[in-house]
Structures are given as C-alpha cells and as structure tokens.
C-alpha cells in the first residue's frame, strides 16, 4: 500500500494546493536550463540515489530503479526534443527511452526503457522549480516520475504518481562526461530485406542502441530511406563510403530487382552492367539515384559493389562480382570473378579489371585494414565442397594485389547453414572486430567477432539484437554528432 500518510486535516487542507501544484507542473516551463547535447545523472532529491536501468539491461522492458551513483552508462540519460515542449529521456547505454509500460495511466505504473518512438508514453515535460530541481510529467498519463513509496533503498522501483511537488518527485540533473561531437559513438547499419517483398530490395537504416555494436533498431518507421527509380528499380547490397578529403559520402548498390523480374539466371546472363549511386554530405539527405556503368560487354551482371579508398592510387577501388562470357549472347556457362575499377567521384571510372579469378565462382568480397595489412572476406560460391557457401579470408599488404595469401576458410560453418554478404567493422571502444554473415534463405545476418584479425578465427556473438531479418549491407561507425543528427532525423 502506498505510504503517503499525513494527518487527515492536513491532507484535506492541502487538496487545493496540490491541485494547483499539479496544474502548474503540467504547464510548460518558460525556459529549460538543461542541454539536449549533455548526458546527465538524474538524482532524487528525496533519496540521493540516481535513476538506473536495472542490471544495465539493453532489453526493451527493463525497469527503471533508483541506485547508488556510479560511472555506469545505464545511469546516464539525455533529453531528446520530441516537440511541443516535450522530450524523450534516453538511456545512454541502450539508446532506449523511458516509457510508461503498457500505456498504463494508473498511479504506480511501471516505468521502463523501450525502443525509442514518437508515442506520448515516451514524452516528458521538464519543469524546473526555484531551487533548480526538476519534475518530469508524462504527456500520456499526466503523472510525475516518482520514487515509489518514498523509498531510500538502492534498487527500489521508480514509477509514476499524481503530481504533488514532494521531494520524491524532484530530481537534479548532474552533467557527466559524454562523447564530444567528433568522438566515435554509435553505428549506422544500412541493409536490404531481400527479394521476398516489393520494397525489400531497397535501402533500409538501423541505428545502434547507444554505443552497443550488436544492438540495432530500425529507423524511418521501418520504411526504406533510399529507393532506386533507375535501371531495374531495385537496390540490393547497399554500401556507404566517404571521401577522405572532401567528406562526401557515396552509397552504391546492385541494380537488380528479383522480386519483379524473377529469374536469377536472367540476372546473371543479361543483368545490369551498372551501379546505383547516391551522394550525401550528412548520411541523411541523399541525392537522386543515378546509374553508372562499370562492367564490360562480356559481363552478365554487376553484383554487390563496395569501395575502399586506396592512398597509393589516391582513388577509391570499387569492386564487384561479374560473370564473364565468351559468347556475345552470353549463352555459355561460366563463373563469377571479382572485378574492380578506380574512381575519385563515382562518375568517371577506369576500365574494369579482373581482381579475383580462382577458376570457380567467388562473390561478395569485403575489406578491412589493420596495421598495414588488408583482410579480404569473400563468399566461396561452390556447391558440394566442404567450405562452399561459406566465407574465405585472405590477406595482402596492397589492395590491388591479384594474389592474396590464404588465411582461413569455412568461416561461419559452425553456426549457420550457409552464408554470404559478409560485412566487417571495428568496435568504437576496444580492439574487437565484428563480422555479420547473411544466412540467406534463413535468419538473415548473424554476427561473429574476433579480437585478433590476424588469427583468422571468428566466434559467434551472443546477446545481439537486429531489426527483423536484415540482409546484405554494411555497418558504418559514427561520431557523436552524426549519431545525434541521424537519430533526430529519423
């Protein structure tokens, strides 16, 4: 039972004052002194304890408690403008926002973290009193964030209650060090959904939950952020790269729409010889799509393009998979090679060259570089071999070498039934790399990790959270400024 005992006469005498206080608390403040670019510990005036996501959980639905202050990111929050004088209260460790669980308007309803959205149960009004303490009023329930039962015990729950202005509803904001604007923070995941739906072969975004490299939530309401209206009007296998001098971003993709055009054989014999290209200065606003032809006449397709800046060329090396035919009608049987061309602007390309020719099909190469060594990860397309349909790893000291050294093979075979479309990226916070492998026809991307690229050994990741069944794409580490801008835009 709620412990709010007061002498009866005092409670009756206070009713009018409480009602007036509630009305005042719900009114928007004239000026908000907090900074939306700052992370805060939120400390209870009543208990001296701070808001805390229980057990540091990354899961939606984890409860809000009060706890002894420490340096944990699950005790750090910021305020994201939701419009009309309301803010989302976002947990730094998870990227989730404080939410009234299950749209409950009752006193004592649970406050939890939940995937950030635009619902009123995640919108809070911040009202500062003359002593510098804040009260948080939920837009949906019109209840205040409240230390339940006036507790002073670490680990006890924080809930909502009718606004009273009491100390257990008053909070101080204590700034903590957060990432500076140019500091590495968070990750952008660009991907496709595949040929199973009309919009599946377009570009989708997901954003990491804070700085967690293995937890992502879809952006833009789960709708594509870039759609191809050129060529075959599909955009598979998106990849984003940045010019090191101009800062300009380029996004390239496979010009292919299997959902509408249907035949994989047609796509490999008479498919597009072009890339789909977009440009952007901020990863948010992209130019119109355009087609740029890169493959020669003897090619039957141009699949899964990526680009890597090569300082020795002072240009991007753009690489992709093509079948090369010896007959003009492409009626003979052949296999995929990895091709490449160079460019500085994704408008003008050098003549395409063969980069990888193993005498059998290889596709979907991706590159990582560390300590002067390039690591290339490629799908072995063969059927009926022990490592066919899994990932092959090779190394080289130069990017355009055509004779890379074998490192390892069968990557992913212990965890997935088959895999393609590998993507690789490095952690923002430690010496660890992640590889997502697309279990096509199955679960989509499955994460693996290593602390030593030179070992060639990858182990399955645990405790990951991906949006639905994402397929062949890429992950781009961000800065704090970029993370904030993307989150606000979508």
Please state the rounded mean pLDDT for residues 219-240.
Answer: 97
Q: 3 lies in a domain?
A: no
Q: 306 lies in a domain?
A: yes
pLDDT number for residue 44: 96
Give CA–CA dist 380/363, Å, rounded.
7
Which range, of 10-14, 202-206, 363-367, 401-405, averages the lowest pLDDT? Answer: 10-14
Structure tokens at 20: 């007036």
- What are the pLDDT digits (tens) for 137-156? 999 999 999 999 999 999 99
Helix (H, G, I), strand (E, B) or coil at 178: coil
Final residue of a structural domain among 130, 155, 176 = 176
Query: Residue 66 sits in a domain of what CATH number?
Result: 2.80.10.50
DSSP string, 318-331: EEEEEEB-SSTT--
Final residue of a structural domain among 176, 201, 228 = 176
Per the structure, how many domains does the chain have? 2
- Order across the sheet with 471-479: list the strands: 216-218, 204-208, 184-192, 471-479
**Residue found by looking up tokens 């409950």 in the block:** 104
Q: Is 97 exposed, middle or buried (0-12, 13-18, 19+ CB in 10 A)?
A: buried
Q: Give yes or no: residues 50 and 188 share one domain.
A: no
Handedness of CA 431, 436, 437, 442 (dihedral sign): positive
Which range, of 16-20, 54-58, 136-140, 258-262, averages the lowest pLDDT? Answer: 16-20
Q: Give yes or no: residues 334 and 444 share one domain.
A: yes
CA proximity to 95, closest of 257, 216, 246:
216
Please state the rounded mean pLDDT for residues 349-360.
Answer: 98
Name the strand (E) or helix (H) holding 437. strand 433-439
Q: Give yes or no: residues 194 and 294 share one domain.
A: yes
DSSP string, 282-301: SSSSBPPPEEEE-S-TTB--
pLDDT number for residue 180: 75
Predicted structure pTM score:
0.76
Helix (H, G, I), strand (E, B) or coil at 185: strand
Structure tokens at 257: 């729409």
Please state the rounded mean pLDDT for residues 103-129.
Answer: 96
Handedness of CA 310, 316, 322, 326 (dihedral sign): negative
The pLDDT confidence band at residue 10, using thresholds 50, 70 and 90, is very low
Final residue of a structural domain among 145, 176, 207 = 176
Give CA–CA dist 250/267, Å, rounded.
25
- Order across the sheet with 274-280: list the strands: 236-242, 249-254, 274-280, 290-293
pLDDT number for residue 38: 86
Range of the domain at 268: 184-489
The pLDDT confidence band at residue 25, using thresholds 50, 70 and 90, is very low
Average pLDDT, the chain: 92
pLDDT number for residue 248: 98
Q: Give yes or no: residues 127 and 207 share one domain.
A: no
Q: 479 lies in a domain?
A: yes
pLDDT number for residue 33: 59
pLDDT number for residue 31: 38
- What are the pLDDT digits (tens) for 314-324? 999 999 999 99
Helix (H, G, I), strand (E, B) or coil at 165: coil
Please state the rounded mean pLDDT for residues 410-423.
Answer: 97
Q: Give yes or no: residues 341 and 429 share one domain.
A: yes
């Amino acid at each position: 039972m709620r412990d709010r005992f007061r002498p009866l006469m005092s409670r009756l005498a206070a009713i009018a004052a409480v009602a007036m206080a509630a009305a005042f608390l719900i009114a928007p403040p004239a000026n908000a002194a907090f900074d939306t670019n700052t992370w805060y510990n939120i400390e209870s005036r009543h208990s001296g304890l701070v808001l805390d996501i229980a057990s540091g959980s990354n899961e939606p639905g984890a409860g809000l408690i009060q706890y002894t202050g420490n340096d944990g990111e699950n005790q750090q929050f910021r305020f994201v403008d939701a419009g009309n004088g309301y803010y989302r209260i976002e947990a730094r460790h998870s990227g989730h926002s404080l939410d009234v669980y299950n749209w409950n308007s009752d006193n004592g309803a649970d406050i939890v973290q939940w995937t950030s959205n635009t619902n009123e149960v995640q919108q809070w009004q911040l009202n500062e009193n003359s002593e510098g303490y804040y009260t948080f009023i939920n837009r949906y329930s019109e209840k205040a964030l409240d230390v339940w039962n006036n507790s002073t015990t670490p680990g006890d729950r924080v809930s909502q209650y009718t606004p009273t202005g009491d100390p257990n509803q008053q909070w101080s904001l204590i700034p903590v060090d957060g990432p500076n604007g140019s500091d590495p923070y968070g990750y952008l995941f660009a991907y496709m959904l595949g040929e199973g739906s009309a919009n599946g072969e377009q570009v989708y975004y997901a954003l990491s939950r804070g700085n967690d490299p293995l937890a992502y939530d879809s952006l833009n309401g789960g709708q594509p952020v870039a759609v191809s209206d050129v060529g075959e009007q599909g955009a598979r296998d998106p990849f984003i790269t940045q010019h090191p001098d101009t800062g300009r971003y380029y996004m390239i993709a496979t010009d292919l729409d299997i959902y509408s055009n249907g035949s994989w054989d047609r796509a490999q014999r008479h498919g597009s010889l072009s890339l789909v290209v977009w440009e952007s200065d901020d990863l948010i606003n992209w130019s119109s799509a355009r087609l740029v032809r890169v493959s020669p006449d003897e090619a039957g397709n141009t699949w899964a393009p990526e680009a890597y800046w090569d300082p020795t060329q002072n240009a991007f090396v753009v690489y992709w998979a093509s079948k090369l035919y010896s007959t003009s009608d492409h009626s003979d049987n052949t296999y995929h090679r990895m091709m490449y061309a160079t460019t500085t602007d994704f408008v003008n390309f050098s003549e395409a060259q063969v980069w990888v020719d193993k005498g059998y099909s290889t596709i979907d190469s991706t590159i990582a570089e560390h300590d002067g060594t390039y690591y290339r990860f490629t799908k072995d397309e063969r059927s009926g071999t022990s490592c066919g349909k899994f990932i092959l790893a090779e190394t080289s000291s130069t990017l355009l070498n055509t004779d890379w050294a074998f490192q390892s093979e069968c990557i992913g075979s212990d965890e997935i039934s088959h895999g393609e479309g590998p993507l690789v990226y490095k952690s923002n916070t430690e010496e660890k790399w992640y590889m997502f492998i697309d279990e096509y026809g199955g679960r989509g991307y499955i994460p693996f990790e290593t602390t030593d690229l030179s070992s060639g050994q990858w182990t399955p990741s645990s405790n990951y959270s991906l949006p639905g069944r994402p397929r062949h794409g890429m992950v781009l580490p961000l800065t704090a400024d970029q993370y904030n801008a993307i989150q606000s835009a979508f």
